[in-house]
Amino acid sequence: MKYKCLVLDHDDTVVDSSASIHYPSFVEYLKIARPHLADKYRVEEYFEKNFHPGILELFTDEIGLSPEELKEEEAFWRDYVKNHIPHAYPGIKEIIEEFRARGGLIVVDSHSLTENIIRDYKANGLPEPDVIYGWDIPKEMRKPNPGTLFDLMEKYGFRPEDILVVDDLKPGYDMAKGAGVDIAAAGWAHSVPEIVSFMSENCEYFCRTVEELRKILFD
């Protein structure tokens, strides 16, 4: 295989979760904290804001949540996610199984909580990842910071060319480029023009389907 380590984003890369879980949670919280904004953001805009500038910037700079409100929002989101399990995209399970069978390392690098990532993998019958970097790692290590990729290189002796990041949003791109690592854009979750344009022009690969990712890895 060309790559020895597969670094998978979670939401909208492995599981179909933003439109079905994270966006509804976002809207429900706005109804509490900023009722006048509850109808402002369509799901496409939510994807765009996650893409750029990022979810924290949306909450703080645009919506204007205070530090206390950010903690309330995170608690609300945690409770919401706890009771909603997303579905894995067809074909992802087979990719993970084959990559591991060929000796590759499976890593999840996500803004979701580690406990929820583990739960989602189990619920969808996916092989448990070898390494997980979730929301609960130190803030300075989270995407778009490339620190987790450097951590993998140090612990496992990987070179940048040994690693492939698979992610649907710009923070994943920024993380990969910050470490000199290739990235395959997961384009199967949405078709927001701004996201498709940037990721298709700047990533090493742009995959409109899960099958296209399989071909990159194994053909």
pLDDT higher than threshold 90 for residue 83: no
Share of the chain above pLDDT 90, in %: 84
CATH of the domain at 173: 3.40.50.1000
- Domain end residue (candidates: 42, 67, 82): 82
- For residue 43, the one-letter residue type is V
Assess whether 98 and 127 both reside in one domain. Answer: yes
Assess whether 10 and 58 both reside in one domain. Answer: no
pLDDT higher than threshold 90 for residue 6: yes
For the segment 138-146, the average pLDDT, to the nearest whole number, is: 94
Assess whether 144 and 194 both reside in one domain. Answer: yes
Assess whether 98 and 43 both reside in one domain. Answer: no
Q: What is the DSSP string of the chain?
A: ---SEEEE--BTTTEE-IIIIIHHHHHHHHHHH-GGGTTT--HHHHHHHHHTT-HHHIIIIIS---HHHHHHHHHHHHHHHHT--PEEPTTHHHHHHHHHHTTPEEEEE-SS-HHHHHHHHHHTTPPPPSEEE-TTS-GGGSTTSTHHHHHHHHHH---GGGEEEEESSHHHHHHHHHTT-EEEEE-SS---HHHHHHHHHHSSEEESSHHHHHHHHH-
Assess whether 155 and 185 both reside in one domain. Answer: yes
Encode pLDDT of 165-201 as tens digits: 999 989 999 999 999 999 999 999 888 898 999 999 9
Confidence at residue 28, expressed as pLDDT on a 0 to 100 scale: 95
Assess whether 72 and 142 both reside in one domain. Answer: no
Confidence at residue 197, expressed as pLDDT on a 0 to 100 scale: 94
Assess whether 37 and 50 both reside in one domain. Answer: yes
Assess whether 140 and 103 both reside in one domain. Answer: yes
Report how far residue 187's alpha carbon sits from residue 208's, in angstroms, rounded to the nearest whole number. 5
pLDDT higher than threshold 90 for residue 160: yes
- For residue 20, the one-letter residue type is S
Encode pLDDT of 88-125 as tens digits: 999 999 999 999 999 999 999 999 999 999 999 999 99
Assess whether 162 and 63 both reside in one domain. Answer: no
- Domain end residue (candidates: 82, 99, 117): 82
Confidence at residue 120, expressed as pLDDT on a 0 to 100 scale: 96
Confidence at residue 56, expressed as pLDDT on a 0 to 100 scale: 86
Confidence at residue 186, expressed as pLDDT on a 0 to 100 scale: 97
- Domain end residue (candidates: 60, 82, 104): 82
Q: What is the mean pLDDT of the chain?
A: 95
- The beta-carbon contacts of 127-132 under 8 Å, at least 24 apart in sequence, are 127/93, 127/96, 127/97, 127/100, 129/8, 130/100, 130/105, 130/106, 131/105, 131/106, 131/107, 132/107, 132/108
Assess whether 92 and 171 both reside in one domain. Answer: yes
Assess whether 46 and 121 both reside in one domain. Answer: no
Structural domain total, the chain? 2
Assess whether 66 and 99 both reside in one domain. Answer: no
Encode pLDDT of 18-76 as tens digits: 889 999 999 999 999 999 999 999 998 898 888 888 888 999 999 999 999 999 999 99
Structural domain harbouring 170: 5-16+87-218
Do the beta carbons of residue 115 and residue 122 sit within 8 Å? Answer: no
